[in-house]
Structure 1
Amino acid sequence: MKKNHSGHYSIGMIAAVLIGLSAVCPFASIHAAPSVAQGNNLNSVSLYNESSWVPPLNSTSPATPSPSQDDVSASFPTGEQGVPADVKQAADNMVQSLSSQPPFVSWKDAELSYHALGPGTHSWLVQVNRAGEYIGYLIIGSDSNGAYQLNEYGNGPGGPYSMDVLRQSLVSLTETDLSSIDKLQVTPMYEEPLLAYWLVRSSTGGEICIDAVTGDPLPVEVADGSWKHKLQNNAFSSSIPFLKTQAQAVTVSSAPFDPYDDLGWLQPKQKLSVRNTGQFMDTLSISPRIIFSATGINFAFGGPLSISGYQSWISPDHPSQPILYALTHHNGLSRFVPLKQLLSAGEFYHLDS
């Protein structure tokens, strides 16, 4: 299996690697087993799709070779079996609309691969590829009425669910939280507001959640769901069907920046009053660099988020009511997240230019 320049494997059909064994499996149910050898390095992560737990590789020999990319099958099925037709139609429409705007022109006529996130979340990861290279993603979910909506999207490298990030994280976990002899079951998950993660279950009964973007371990409350009581239940809802909207030009207010480079925004005087779409747009026009933070649950947003722009989606039937996605960045990835999720869950802060 070839890896593209962003470090993403084609995870729609994940490869399973044991020494001398290659198998291609659907993404929707993933199993992984680390093997520790020679300096506690993860020799291979074996990814399977069906019911049995995957045993670890033999770790007694320090000379056990790490599997190369050539150990894995380079031939992948389309991975579209079981994908609802309306999910594919929604993704096609979204990609077509985005490709009309300058940051996304490379998305025109791109290849799409679909991967269920769950179980039970009714969410789909759609990877956007051109000439075999990963160039972006969509995460499609459903609203309270069952209609499909765009949960988030991104352009460039470093999107969620990178197999490289997962492998690197499992290396760290075998050195701290997990035994090298554990059998692991790994499942890709997505929960509102913006929580993309891997659920790692150990055969010895442990559970660990790994941020699917950064690879960092998440708080233990993610596994049992107890964090959700901290989430305010006053998310802004829209009566405008998202599937009828069209992407507009991206408004960029500043260059990408890291919220940890200057912590001056933590001062009380830097707090902003942003409660609706209009105030958000007006604020960015005056303060081009703002930061979103949700105290106690920043992990559910990938926050704190540095915000340096936005993109509007407008319905021809409701041109005065745009649906906004805030622009943030992570390691070269331009990530667009729904403003309505931010408005209801945290605060915005001004960062001096």
Structure 2
Amino acid sequence: MKKNHSGHYSVGMIAAVLIGLSAVCPFASIHAAPSAVQESNLSSAPNYNESSWVPPMESMSPATPSASPGDVSSKLPAQQQGVPEDVKRTAADTVQSLSSQPPFASWKDAELSYHPLGPGTHSWLVQVNHAGEYIGYLIIGSDPDGAYQLNEYGNGPGGPYSMDILRQSLKLLTETEFSSIDKLQITPMYEEPLLAYWLVRSSTGSQICIDAVTGDPLPVEVADGGWKHKLQNNAISSPTPFSKTQAQTVTISSDPFNPYDDLGWLQAKQKLSIYDTGQFMDALSNSPRMIFSATSINFAFGGPLSISGFQAWISPDHPSEPILYALTYHDGLSRFVPLKQLLPHGQFYRLES
């Protein structure tokens, strides 16, 4: 991929790119995504169902029906077979527990759809739908012992892996030129700590990673894994099995806020000493607005993250050892991320009220 002097990927000049999904990707086929300059009079190619490589618009017949960007649905078809029973059980138990809490009351009678993430399907996106509307998500992954755990979850619109976000991003972030034989392969990926993205490969060797929440291009080091050496090795493991826990009341310390609106937290004096669950809860009670930052690898967390609350999960066998998920917001989405993934990899800062 070619970048301009600002470091961003240059806007595609081709008429359109028809996106196809790799065999490991369960998501729906996507209509052609017209470029901004020719959106009003483009023809599109027919849908492709889970084809591994899909050619750009130039190779298609101009006689095919027209399609606008709005034709691309953000709803994803469910995986019909091959979903591990442990994944289904973890999802069902999690949704049942969450639905007992007021913010998740609409999850009580929700329908769940399952979508594998990345090769090997070690992680699964579980979309939560009610009355035909998307209302939230879970991401379930396996730990080193093979047991499934809750990687993160969210309540509200704007969850990860939206087809609309993907289409819009590719319209803006594709190569400046594709040959008539060039094709794209697109795979949804999820890597710890909290990195949700689309891996886009070209048949001519180019590749780019796109953040599955924001649609922003990710650093080149995501595709080659070069960023992982920056992670700390002192990851925190929870002594309490998640499968035995129950969701508690969500603790909200402040209204949603954007960490970029006030950069006062970047001052050294704002740094907090938080190394465990107890210190996190104490700090949040004294500093209702906090920011988590992992500096050079913030992209792996979707950060920097505004922290304005948490939800605890407690096992009746270990009531004094809660598992905490920090509450952050993104465009109306309440996103809950495991505190154990934040503590070893970054710093917390207070933001003055």
Q: What TM-score do the two structures reach when normalised by structure 2? A: 0.85
* Distance in 2 of aligned mates of 1:350 and 1:162: 32
| Paired residue type of 1:82 | G
Question: Hey, what does 1:324 align to over in structure 2?
Answer: 324
Bigger fraction of residues in strand: 1
Tell me whether 1:179 sits opposite 2:181 in the alignment.
Answer: no
Equivalent AA in structure 1 for residue 238 of structure 2: S
CA contact (8 A) 1:32 1:185 kept: no
Consecutive unaligned residues in structure 2, runs of 5 or more: 1-16
Give the AA of the match of 1:334: S
- The separation in 2 between residues aligned to 1:132 and 1:35, in whole angstroms, is 25
Counterpart of 1:91 in structure 2 is: 91
Report if aligned partners of 2:292, 2:349 keep a CA contact under 8 Å in 1. yes
SS where residue 58 of structure 1 aligns?
helix
- After TM superposition, the structure 1 = structure 2 runs for residues 220-259 of structure 1, keeping only pairs within 5 Å, are 220-259=220-259
Amino acid at match of 1:290: M
Q: Deviations over 1:236-280 (max 9, x none)?
A: 101211011000000000000000000000000000000000000
Aligned counterpart, 1:285: 285
Deviation for aligned residue 1:204: 1.2
Q: Cα 1:121–1:269, aligned 2, differ >3 Å: closer, same or farther? A: farther
Q: Counterpart of 1:278 in 2: which secondary structure? A: helix
Q: What pairs up with 1:135-284 in 2 under 5 angstroms?
A: 135-174=135-174, 176=175, 179=178, 182-284=182-284
Task: Tell me by how many angstroms 1:192 deviates.
Answer: 0.1
Indicate the SS of the match to 2:89: helix
Judged with a 3 Å threshold, the aligned counterparts in structure 2 of structure 1 residues 32 and 301 are, in CA distance, closer, same or farther, namely same
Q: What are the equivalent positions in structure 2 for 1:46-85 lying under 5 Å apart?
A: 48-51=49-52, 53-58=53-58, 66-67=66-67, 78-85=78-85
Q: TM-score, normalised by structure 1?
A: 0.85
Maintained 8 Å contact 1:188/1:199: yes
Name 1:28's counterpart in structure 2: 26
Number of aligned positions between the proteins: 331
**How far apart, in 2, do the equivalents of 1:344 and 1:161 lie?**
27
Distance in 2 (CA, whole Å) between partners of 1:71 and 1:260 is 33
- Note the C-alpha offset of 1:28: 3.0
Work out the percentage of aligned pairs sharing the same amino acid. Answer: 74
Render the CA deviation track for 1:144-191: whole Å, top value 9, x for unaligned. Answer: 1111100000000000000000000000013x5663854111100000
Greater mean deviation of Cα atoms: 178-187 or 79-88:
178-187
Q: Report the aligned-residue RMSD.
A: 3.1
Q: Distance in 2 between matches of 1:80 and 1:110?
A: 17
Counterparts in 2 of 1:185 and 1:319: CA distance versus 1, 3 Å = same
Q: Which amino acid aligns with 1:49?
A: E
Aligned residues of 1:38 and 1:63 also touching (Cα < 8 A): no
